[in-house]
Chain A
Amino acid sequence: MAFAIPIRKRVLPGFGLSLGISLFFVSLVLLLPVTGLVMQTADMGWGRFWQVVTDPRVVASYKVTLTAALIASLFNGVFGLLMAWILVRYDFWGKRLLDGLVDLPFALPTAVAGIALSALYAQSGWYGGFFEFFGVQVAYTPVGIMVAMAFTSVPFVVRTVQPVLEDLPLEDEEAASTLGASGSQIFRRIVLPAIWPAWVTGMALAFTRSLGEFGAIIFIAGNMPYVSEVTSLMIFVRLQEYDYAAASAIAAVILLASLTLLLSINIWQARFLRRLHGR
């Protein structure tokens, strides 16, 4: 097997030990569990598989999940860019606190975020009444799913754009400004071309995370069939019916989708990193 043959002569010790531990762990924890899913779905046959994953209720859940994740990621694209910008370019009182606050959605357990958001955006909560005034019901509707997804994926765009913005040489902007370019021209012609690969990466990561989010959503979604069920929840529904095969089929769809996204993001990042470093 071609795997794990060192290309360069090794100077440091520990290759065998660290390879052994890593491969053992990856096989046991990450790869072995997939065999159960493969066997379960292989058993059910193509016809049944197709029937399960195109069931109208499941298809409705794809639509809800994809739409909500898309809107939540676009929201984070705007909000994340703004946050990255003010954290890098301006000095103001409380900046460190604001910077720490950005990581809160990663630190806060999703179930805790879920129960807090659902109570806040319910009609009786602090925000529910406000939105009700404009005729928008957030909690227990697809809008609530978007809020939960947006909340849990806030850090992605900020944390991918921030370092790129920090490394951006200010001289280019100054030169453009000396030559008479306006602020918005400089932003579109100089800043945006430099940050957009990171910006897109951040939104793609936020999107991937939103597709898989569960804990925060089930509290606020209301989980009405055909209306506000996300695909992760459909696995649960099938499990409660003791239909392990159907649960596996839906899981296989989610797994394939997220692996495709993960690979695309990695390839995308590698391409731009090479270009940046001129390799």
Chain B
Amino acid sequence: MQHSRGIGQTPWVRLTLISVGVVFSVLFLLAPVVFIFQRALESGVGFYVQTLLDPYTRHAIMLTLLVAVVTIPVNLIFGVALAWLVTRFEFTGRKVLMTLIDIPFAVSPVVAGLLYLLLYGNQGWIGSWLDDRDIQLMFAWPGLIMVTIFVTCPFVARELIPLMQQQGTSEEEAGLTLGASGWQVFRHITLPNVRWALLYGVILTNARAMGEFGAVSVISGSIRGQTNTLALHVELLAQDFNIVAAFVSASLLAFLALVTLVAKSLIEWRETRRQQQEEQTA
């Protein structure tokens, strides 16, 4: 067994390190989530349901879903195209392109929101042009979607690139040699090979799209019943000292986070099992 080898295997060292890690993780990472559900349910299930049925909360839920539903396909197409480009071809500027897509992860979401506000707000050069034609993108739902696409665009590509690089192109080239069209090769060889990474990329995109706060708060204006997403709704309720209601909305997003983690574990579990099977058959 590999795990009984190497340094740090003395029983007391083992026990100490594991205990410190577990206790810290539970107190520091897990407790906040448990706390959210405890506070959300402290006034009873009746209050919980009633809060969720509040028209403003319902609108926030629908708006959050709308943002995610539009963001996912856009970033899916971009992520797949970019991953195909940088893993299947060598070209000048490839490295630059790969650094560029890391920008949304490195930049503060508030700065991201501001960039869009400056361009598409009615003072910006595009925004003023649109304003003359009575089109308003900022402080309205299209703006929410635009900044969400910005902050979530690296996820799919980031998941696909290492995997597609590792898998190489031999299967696809074989398919082409056998007379398949490029589109057939992509659908029947590439897609099945990367489907779990693709799914994981989508799950991450979804989680971030539904939970984004900094970027949307710059361009939203947080108008109740109009531009208030769930994450913004949490803040608005907390500012009103309506703490339990804030935790009710927060619990929905916390639940989403738990679902995301479970999905991630399942995908990883499948992946390790597949690798083990391959090793056995090899």
Contact = CB atoms under 8 A, between A and B. Distances in A.
Given A29-B149, A37-B115, A96 B257 contact: no
Contact of B32 (A79, A120, A255): A120
Contact of B115 (A33, A215, A263): A33
B108 A258 contact: yes
Nearest to A177: B7
A46 B121 CA distance: 24
Interface in B1-51: 1-3, 5-8, 10, 13-14, 17-18, 20-22, 24-25, 28-33, 35-36, 39
B182 A109 contact: no
Contacts of B261: 100-101, 103-104, 107
Interface residues of B, number: 101
A183 B217 CA distance: 51
B6 A244 contact: no
Given A112-B234, A191-B7, A212 B108 contact: yes
B92 A5 contact: yes
Contact of B118 (A7, A40, A214, A259): A40
Interface string A7-32: 11011111101110110011001111
A107 B207 CA distance: 6
Nearest to B251: A112
B53 interface: no
B243 A98 contact: no
Contacts of B110: 212, 214, 232-233, 235-236, 251
Nearest to B9: A89
Given A5-B92, A89-B8, A109 B210 contact: yes
Contacts of B264: 100, 103, 107
B153 A25 contact: yes
B107 A255 contact: yes
A104 B30 contact: yes
Contacts of A186: 7
A119 B35 contact: yes
Interface string B217-235: 1100000000000011011
B269 to A, nearest CB: 8
Nearest to B26: A101
A248 B213 CA distance: 19
Given A11-B169, A86-B17, A109-B210, A183 B7 contact: yes
B85 interface: yes
Contacts of A85: 8, 17
Interface in A262-276: 262-263, 266
A108 B254 contact: yes
Contact of A30 (B32, B88, B104, B123): B104
Contacts of A25: 78, 81-82, 153
A162 interface: no
Contact of B99 (A15, A19, A86, A266): A266
B211 A111 contact: yes
Given A11-B173, A37-B118, A29 B153 contact: yes
A151 B29 contact: yes
A208 B105 CA distance: 9
Contacts of B109: 212, 214-215
B89 interface: yes
Contact of B22 (A3, A98, A255): A98
A15 to B, nearest CB: 5
Contacts of A261: 106
A13 B253 CA distance: 41
B100 A262 contact: no
A115 B77 CA distance: 34
B111 A254 contact: yes
Contact of B172 (A12, A90, A212): A12
The 8 closest A-B pairs by CB, nearest first: A109-B211, A212-B108, A36-B118, A13-B182, A36-B119, A215-B213, A21-B81, A214-B214
Interface of A: 2-8, 10-15, 17-19, 21-22, 25-26, 29-37, 39-40, 79, 82-83, 85-86, 89-92, 94, 96, 98-113, 115-117, 119-120, 125-126, 150-151, 154, 170, 173-174, 177, 183, 186-187, 191, 208-209, 211-215, 219, 232-233, 235-236, 239, 244, 247-248, 251, 254-255, 258-259, 261-263, 266
Interface of B: 1-3, 5-8, 10, 13-14, 17-18, 20-22, 24-25, 28-33, 35-36, 39, 77-78, 81-82, 84-85, 88-93, 97, 99-111, 114-120, 123-126, 149-150, 153, 169, 172-173, 176, 182, 185-186, 204, 207, 210-214, 217-218, 231-232, 234-235, 238, 243, 246-247, 250, 253-254, 256-258, 260-262, 264-265
13 contacts: A15-B89, A29-B149, A30-B103, A30-B150, A39-B125, A96-B265, A100-B265, A107-B261, A111-B211, A111-B250, A112-B254, A116-B254, A232-B214
